[in-house]
């Protein structure tokens, strides 16, 4: 019985046309003094004409059947007119469009409108578009409305009103676009990784992937306890186990290099790799960067002789290479002015030329700061991530070129904000290890290290 009732109610509901933009207004609800629309005036005129025709036909002894038909037609039109008027007045949640009712209630609850003598003087300019997988809510800035200033602060309130997950917020001069997902993205859980993988894309969260055949250089920052380290372990292991066909028609693993000046957990994990793949001292850091630069120059020469256009060295049969620098700020703090300039120039070149040469760099630190990362380097790191809540204003600006208020709100450990290929920053949950991390990744790094040593011997 309940299913039949729900089916009947659903048949009365208007449905949104996918891809069509609908504007939401509370004018018909809050205005006390309203002038009738042309359509309403025509409906009233039609009702009166039918009523008059029925009465005339009845009084002049015309066909009794015709008279009653006209009277019933009058009653039908009259009831329909009253129903439409009441629906427009109160926004019936049963027959109203999905989403529109929730947004209208959001406007009413938060008093995002202004009345003057019963007339609607001003209201927030809000529209929505329903798509297959998401709902886009647009709040326009009209330049003169008092509600323009709240347009950028509606994300969490709309999330609660719609009951949908806020995915991203895009701010332009014209207004703000909020994207809400119609489905819940499941956090990736990791209990096992195979020793090798040939996919060029690393899964992160939902449809967020890091493509090794594009620019995969990245800045990763976040305070202690935010889950940044575990996310980094996952990314490093996923990169290291990638294996691709090389020019000798064999298979070769991606090349991983790690600099950890504090000799922390990342250094411990890297002990399975050959000595020249892991560094802790300033001298080792410079040696590794210089080796990267030497290989980069070799690859430039090879690429210049290739016949293809807009290719990468990976597509030409050369494995991707990655330099991971943990605690970047601590490393920079050890350098004098000349050393810092020399080091930053080399890092900038790797980041700038990395895409076509399939060479990337990941810079990891707690808080991005102009004191440690130059603008030139930051602009080349098109993939950006911040783990944890309470991002500082400087980190928001340095990482995403946004203010704190323009970014999604992080509430949980292991949650963060990420931007891939320079796209709009979105909320994400880092993959979660449901076994001790060392049990999952150490066998892979040990296996990869053995392969590196075999490659060196050959």
Residue list, annotated binding site for ATP: 222-229
How many CB atoms neighbour CB 301 within 10 A? Answer: 8
Read off φ and ψ for residue 179, nearest 5 degrees.
-115, 125
Helices (H), 91-227: 100-109, 155-162
User: Structure tokens of 163?
Assistant: 């009951």
Q: Which helix (H) or strand (E) holds 81?
A: helix 64-90
177 forms bridges with which residues in the sheet? 138, 170
392 contact partners, CB below 8 Å, separation of at least 6:
367, 404
Read off φ and ψ for residue 198, nearest 5 degrees.
-105, 0
Distance of CA 342 to the CA centre of its chain: 36
Q: Which helix (H) or strand (E) holds 53?
A: helix 38-59
User: Structure tokens of 109?
Assistant: 């609850």
445-450: list long-range contacts, CB under 8 Å, 24+ apart: 445/237, 445/240, 445/269, 445/270, 445/272, 445/273, 446/272, 447/195, 448/240, 448/241, 448/253, 448/256, 448/272, 448/273, 449/272, 449/273, 449/274, 449/277
In DSSP notation, 1-39 reads: -HHHHHHHHHHHS--PPTT-EEEE--HHHH-SS-PPPHH
Contact 399, 386 (CB under 8 A): yes
Contact 153, 405 (CB under 8 A): yes
Read off φ and ψ for residue 389, nearest 5 degrees.
-90, 175
Contact 220, 324 (CB under 8 A): no
Q: How far apart are CA 427 and CA 416, in angstroms?
A: 6
């Amino acid at each position: 019985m309940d299913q039949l009732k729900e089916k009947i109610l659903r048949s009365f509901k208007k449905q949104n046309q996918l891809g069509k933009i609908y504007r939401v207004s509370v004018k018909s609800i809050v205005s006390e003094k309203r002038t009738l629309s042309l359509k309403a005036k025509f409906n009233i005129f039609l009702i009166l004409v039918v009523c008059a025709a029925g009465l005339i036909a009845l009084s002049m002894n015309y066909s009794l059947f015709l008279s009653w038909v006209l009277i019933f037609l009058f009653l039908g039109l009259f009831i329909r007119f009253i129903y439409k008027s009441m629906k427009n007045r109160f926004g019936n949640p049963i027959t109203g469009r999905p989403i529109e009712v929730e947004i209208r209630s959001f406007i009413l609850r938060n008093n995002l409108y202004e009345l003057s003598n019963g007339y609607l003087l001003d209201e927030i300019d809000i529209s929505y578009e329903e798509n297959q997988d998401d709902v886009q809510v647009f709040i326009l800035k009209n330049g003169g409305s008092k509600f323009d200033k709240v347009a950028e602060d509606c994300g969490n309130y709309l999330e609660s009103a719609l009951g949908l997950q806020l995915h991203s917020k895009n701010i332009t001069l014209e207004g703000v676009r909020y994207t809400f997902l119609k489905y819940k993205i499941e956090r990736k859980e990791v209990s096992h990784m195979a020793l090798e993988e040939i996919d060029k894309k690393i899964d992160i969260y939902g449809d967020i992937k890091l493509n090794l055949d594009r620019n995969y250089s990245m800045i990763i920052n976040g305070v202690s306890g935010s889950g940044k380290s575990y996310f980094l372990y996952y990314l490093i292991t996923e990169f290291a186990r990638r294996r691709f066909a090389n020019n000798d028609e064999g298979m070769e693993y991606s090349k991983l290099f790690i600099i950890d000046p504090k000799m922390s957990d990342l250094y411990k994990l890297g002990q399975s790799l050959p000595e020249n793949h892991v560094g802790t001292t300033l001298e080792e850091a410079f040696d590794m960067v210089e080796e990267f630069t030497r290989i980069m120059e070799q690859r430039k020469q090879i690429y210049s002789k290739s016949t293809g256009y807009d290719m990468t060295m990976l597509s030409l049969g050369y494995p991707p290479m990655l330099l991971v620098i943990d605690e970047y700020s601590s490393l920079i703090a050890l350098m004098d002015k000349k050393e810092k300039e020399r080091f930053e120039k080399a890092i900038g070149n790797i980041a700038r030329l990395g895409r076509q040469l399939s060479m990337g760099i990941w810079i990891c630190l707690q808080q991005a700061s102009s004191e440690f990362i130059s603008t030139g380097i930051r602009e080349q790191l098109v993939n950006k991530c911040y783990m944890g809540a309470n991002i500082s204003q400087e980190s928001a600006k340095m990482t995403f070129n946004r203010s704190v208020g323009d970014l999604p709100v992080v509430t949980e450990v292991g949650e963060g904000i990420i931007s891939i290929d320079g796209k709009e920053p979105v909320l994400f949950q880092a993959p979660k290890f449901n076994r001790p991390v060392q049990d999952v990744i150490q066998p892979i790094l040990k296996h990869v290290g053995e392969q590196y040593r075999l490659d060196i011997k050959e």
